[in-house]
Amino acid sequence: MSNVTYPVDTPQQLRTMLRTLRQARKLTQTQLGEMLGVSQKRIARIEAAPEVTAYDQIARMVSAMGCSLVIEEAPRHRVAEDEPAPYTPKW
């Protein structure tokens, strides 16, 4: 099984990702709520506003759908080719 990553940089992206993961697993909000011991309304609220949801609730929800949260260092990109190179002393 290959690992697929889904970068999430904004609350809107997290909203979309949570709903998409649930739907991809063919789960209703009610079914996911039953798995977590919460109501359908709670799942709807989490999907609608993950930015005001406790981390542990989002982590439990993601885990219940067979995924995990990962923090990854973002690659550094140079803005332009004409950006000055780091200073190198000429000894």
The token duo for 29 is: 């909000």
pLDDT at position 78 is: 60
Q: What is the chain's pLDDT, residue by residue, as a tens digit (91 residues)?
A: 467 888 898 999 999 999 999 999 999 999 999 999 999 999 999 999 999 999 999 999 999 999 999 988 888 866 555 555 565 656 6
Identify whether the C-beta of residue 24 lies closer than 8 Å to the C-beta of residue 34. no
**What pTM was estimated for this model as a whole?**
0.76
Helix (H) / strand (E) containing 73? none
Element (H, E) at 36: helix 29-36
In the prediction, which pLDDT does 81 show? 57
